[in-house]
């Protein structure tokens, strides 16, 4: 299935292809503050509809994950990184997707604070 998503103001927009079987709620210092629910997938399944430089990037700690956010409205629609096997990955904030029933998606808790 193809989902459309964006930040609040629409400056950062994208489509993503896949099936949402579950989302991850991380308790690390940034995810707990953002309140995002993450859906992980190969980066090539994320297709930007706006220029890449429409999103700003924030990194912290080991600087392994690019937390992408809109510089206008501040919403964090996705992140980018590399998994332990070396694959490029995207972490989609499902709260930024259109026309989904978030309550129907199982959420797994992840203890990112301990990493």
pLDDT reported for residue 5 = 98
CATH of domain 2-114: 2.170.150.70
Model confidence at 61, pLDDT cuts 50, 70, 90, reads confident
Are the beta carbons of 5 and 55 closer than 8 angstroms?
Answer: no
Interior angle at CA 91, CA 45 and CA 41, nearest 5 = 40
pLDDT reported for residue 99 = 94
- Residue 60: pLDDT over 80: yes
- Mean per-residue pLDDT, 61-67: 86
Question: Distance between CA 21 and CA 115 in Å, rounded?
Answer: 25
Report the chain's mean pLDDT, rounded to a whole number. 94
Using only the alpha carbons of the chain, give its radius of gyration: 13
pTM over 0.85, yes/no: yes
Q: How far apart are the first and last CA of the chain?
A: 33
């Amino acid at each position: 299935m193809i989902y459309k998503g964006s930040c609040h103001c629409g400056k950062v927009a994208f489509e993503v292809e896949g099936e949402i079987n579950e989302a991850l709620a991380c308790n690390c210092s940034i995810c707990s503050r953002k309140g995002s629910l993450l859906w992980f997938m190969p980066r090539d399944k994320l297709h930007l509809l706006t220029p890449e430089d429409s999103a700003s990037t924030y990194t912290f700690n080991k600087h392994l994950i690019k937390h992408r956010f809109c510089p206008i409205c501040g919403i964090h629609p996705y992140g980018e990184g590399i998994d332990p096997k070396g694959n490029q990955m995207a972490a989609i904030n499902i709260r930024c997707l259109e026309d989904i029933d978030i309550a129907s998606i199982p959420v797994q808790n992840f203890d990112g604070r301990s990493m």
